[in-house]
């Protein structure tokens, strides 16, 4: 997951830096909070920095390093996504080209898109194709061939994490035209 610094706020109490996970629509944030704390003897101050993981506006964890906070945030984001959340996919219908869209990860929504029971064809470790399990039997029109596997009917190319569907990696989406040229026959 890619992170970018989106805000820095400095005041008398300390410094707050906000990092946002790209492509989460400000729903996944890590804030670095550096506070100036006076020494017990009243001479000078020392700095104390904490890192706060915030998902959907709710602070869920405080950690002591930025790396740990980002790792925790990414794991929490994957497991706390609400059922029926929209995921970024690449879709293709037999009569059109590939396009990036967002679809619900609910089984009923996926079945509706492909027009029947779904079949999952794993392409790579974290990329799969969802197609109609009975597309050939029902005579659905030929769509395309990906890495030697022919698909009939509408398809979705999705990201996977274990047995869950998730957003396609942004790097895969960005380089899809290359993938399409070297792996897809229409």
Tens-digit pLDDT profile for the chain (186 aa)?
A: 788 888 888 887 788 888 888 766 657 888 888 887 777 777 777 778 888 888 777 788 888 888 888 888 887 776 666 666 788 899 999 999 999 999 988 889 999 999 999 999 998 778 999 999 999 999 999 999 998 899 999 999 998 877 778 888 888 888 887 777 766 776
Q: What's the sign of the alpha-carbon dihedral 55, 61, 62, 64?
A: negative
Rounded to two decimals, the pTM is 0.59
Residues 113, 139 contacting (CB under 8 angstroms): no
Does residue 39 contact residue 20 with C-beta atoms inside 8 Å?
no
């Amino acid at each position: 997951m890619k992170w970018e610094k989106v805000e820095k706020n400095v005041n008398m109490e300390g410094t707050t830096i906000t990092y946002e996970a790209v492509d989460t629509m400000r729903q996944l944030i890590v804030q670095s909070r550096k506070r100036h704390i006076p020494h017990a003897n009243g001479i000078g101050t020392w700095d104390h920095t904490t890192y706060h993981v915030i998902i959907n506006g709710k602070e869920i964890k405080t950690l002591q390093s930025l790396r740990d906070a980002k790792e925790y945030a990414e794991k929490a984001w994957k497991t706390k996504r609400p059922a029926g959340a929209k995921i970024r996919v690449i879709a293709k219908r037999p009569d059109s080209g590939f396009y990036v869209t967002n679809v619900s990860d609910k089984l009923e929504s996926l079945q509706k898109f492909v027009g029947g029971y779904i079949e999952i064809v794993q392409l790579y470790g974290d990329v799969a194709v969802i197609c109609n399990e009975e597309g050939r039997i029902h005579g659905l029109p030929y769509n395309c061939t990906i890495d030697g596997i022919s698909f009939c009917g509408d398809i979705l190319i999705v990201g996977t994490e274990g047995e869950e569907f998730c957003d396609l990696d942004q790097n895969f989406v960005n380089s899809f035209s290359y993938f399409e040229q070297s792996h897809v026959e229409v």
